[in-house]
Amino acid sequence: MIHARLTIDPHFTVGPVNRRLFGSFVEHLGRCVYDGIYEPGHPSADADGFRTDVIELVRELGVTAVRYPGGNFVSGYKWEDGVGPREQRPRRLDLAWHSTETNEIGLDEFATWLGKVGAEMMYAVNLGTRGVAEALDVLEYANIRSGTALSDNRIDNGHTEPHSIRLWCLGNEMDGPWQLGHSTAEDYARLASQTAAAMRQLDPSLELVVCGSSGAQMPTFGEWERIVLEQTYDDVDFISCHAYYEPKDDDYASFLASAVDMDRFIEAVTATADHVKALRRSDKTINISFDEWNVWYQTRFNEVDKITDPDSWPVAPRLLEDSYSVMDAVVFGNLLISLLRHSDRVTSASLAQLVNVIAPIMTEPGGAAWRQTTFFPFSIASRLARGVALELKLDAPTHDTAAYGAVPTIDAVATYDAETGTTAAFIVNRSLSEEASFEIDASALGDVEVTSAVSLYDDDLHAANTLSEPDRVRPRENTSARRDGNTISVTLPAVSWTVLTLG
Ligand code: AHR
């Protein structure tokens, strides 16, 4: 049996857990918007055509901010196509996803939907095929109260209050050859810097995210961040990171250690940002917006490539509809642990995506909506990871992986909420075969009890929730958790994600 021991002391903190860490992402892609959040003919649809069963699940998920409208989609998008009378909105070809965009949903409708789910908008401007002028236009339309052409246009469209969007992305994945308008770091940096400066001329308090690499595996990774930040350092607040993980050749040991890669990615980007800070003798610190992260079976499917004839590109086709297993959810929960562990520098994150497209929530047209396995680590962490992330002392054995070398078999993070006096510990057992006996030295926490203990695991690592069996996988109470003096102990099943609360 594996033995691991964690020492928790609430005096040693990493940083506050920003609520924006529990953000997500809605792109005009596949059935995320149409037949996902929006389905006017559905029995649960409200007067605006939004599915209320989906709204309830999004609330339960605990999503705090949502990035919109893309993604690769945004680099061909004209935001003005999506506002004004619906019957006048143009149908357009979406080159990113070989689909037809009807523009029934745009900025105003999405803002209305966000009001219903209680989340903040994070808006991405198109720097792929457009530039400074269009970014200024959408900013004026969205955020100016009244009295200008575009703000009055919004009011005429029925939205008297400004949308007051604080967080803006300067394009999407501009380092990727697949991106419309893909460019060099130098060219992108110039455009991003000009756009940011212009947007800040209108409102200096905006929070701006410049594009980092679309993955640590990109050949330009590292240099891209340095060059982009050298030119934009004074104009932006965040640099973005994107990362998706999947098992390669059934190498599940490496897959289960994906968070090691996320840790290294975050630490490399932080080091690069701080290198530029030093070069500039700047007092300002650039933080990370990890605005796309998830498990995504990218190499298994290529549905987009199969949609070839632009004369018949479909509306809202089924694309990227990954079904997530228990093992995927354990990896996913470990990625959340990595984000929380870096709370001092990762102050915004977006789970990609939210509904139907590589998503925690699935829907059937005219039918049910259900929770994928990945729903649970996210909803539980959003509810319990409050206050500050703690610096931990974790003693755990290691095992070898083909992708990352020796990795700790147990990984953990803890948060402490001074308001409620609650400590939450999130723990992963990455072993494929062995359960672990896990102990927490809680002496520095005072007289605490285990107030809840929940684990996500299953004898069948590939078990998933589906339309026909939506509740196949659920988190279960972990009845092994107990306190003996200042030591808390719990048994962690093989391939499991566990959360303990102590209070
Ligand atoms: O989330 C799916 C796609 O992944 C996004 O559109 C793009 O930004 C990334 O490559």
Same domain, 241 and 177: yes
338 contacts 259 by C-beta, under 8 angstroms: yes
Domain boundary among 357, 384, 411: 384
21 contacts 31 by C-beta, under 8 angstroms: no
Question: If you measure from the C-alpha of residue 72 to the centroid of ligand 1, how many angstroms do you get, rounded to a whole number?
Answer: 6
Same domain, 371 and 473: no
Which pLDDT value is given to residue 230?
A: 98
Q: Is the pTM of this model over 0.85?
A: yes
Pocket test for ligand 1, best of 29, 66, 68, 292 (most atoms within 8 A of CB): 292
β-strand pairing of 346-352 with 23-25: parallel
Same domain, 446 and 343: no
Which pLDDT value is given to residue 87?
A: 96
Number of domains making up the chain: 2
Same domain, 378 and 426: no
Same domain, 444 and 380: no
Alpha-carbon 135 to chain mean position: 23
Question: If you measure from the C-alpha of residue 73 to the centroid of ligand 1, how many angstroms do you get, rounded to a whole number?
Answer: 8
Same domain, 235 and 318: yes
Closest protein CA for atom 2 of ligand 1: 71
Which pLDDT value is given to residue 306?
A: 86
Q: Which ligand 1 atom sits closest to the C-alpha of 173?
A: 8
Question: If you measure from the C-alpha of residue 71 to the centroid of ligand 1, how many angstroms do you get, rounded to a whole number?
Answer: 5
Same domain, 224 and 120: yes
Domain boundary among 330, 358, 384: 384
Same domain, 370 and 434: no
Helix 375-384 vs helix 326-341: crossing angle, to nearest 10: 30
Which pLDDT value is given to residue 383?
A: 98
Contacts of 370 (CB under 8 A, 6+ apart): 361, 362, 363, 465, 466, 467, 470, 471
Local structure of residue 199 (DSSP, 8 states): H
Domain boundary among 335, 365, 384: 384
Same domain, 373 and 435: no
Closest protein CA for atom 6 of ligand 1: 71
Which pLDDT value is given to residue 305?
A: 81
The residue ranges of the chain whose pLDDT is under 50 are: none
The domain of 44 spans 18-384
Which pLDDT value is given to residue 437?
A: 98
Which pLDDT value is given to residue 304?
A: 85
Residues with CB under 6 Å of ligand 1 are: 27, 70-72, 172-173, 214, 292, 352-353
- Span 155-203, pLDDT tens digits: 999 999 999 999 999 999 999 999 999 999 999 999 999 999 999 999 9
Pocket test for ligand 1, best of 67, 99, 172 (most atoms within 8 A of CB): 172
Which pLDDT value is given to residue 261?
A: 98
Same domain, 201 and 267: yes
Catalytic positions, please?
173, 292
Q: Which ligand 1 atom sits closest to the C-alpha of 292?
A: 1
The CATH number of whichever domain residue 426 belongs to comes to: 2.60.40.1180
394 contacts 410 by C-beta, under 8 angstroms: yes
Closest protein CA for atom 4 of ligand 1: 71
Same domain, 152 and 249: yes
Question: If you measure from the C-alpha of residue 292 to the centroid of ligand 1, how many angstroms do you get, rounded to a whole number?
Answer: 7
Q: What is the DSSP string of 463-481?
A: -B--SSSTTS---EE-TT-
- Span 435-472, pLDDT tens digits: 999 999 999 999 999 999 999 999 999 999 999 999 99
Closest protein CA for atom 3 of ligand 1: 71
Which pLDDT value is given to residue 9?
A: 95
Same domain, 267 and 400: no
The CATH number of whichever domain residue 216 belongs to comes to: 3.20.20.80
Residue 357, SS3 per DSSP: coil
Round to the nearest angstrom and report the end-to-end CA distance of the chain. Answer: 28
Q: Which ligand 1 atom sits closest to the C-alpha of 29?
A: 6
Question: If you measure from the C-alpha of residue 287 to the centroid of ligand 1, how many angstroms do you get, rounded to a whole number?
Answer: 21
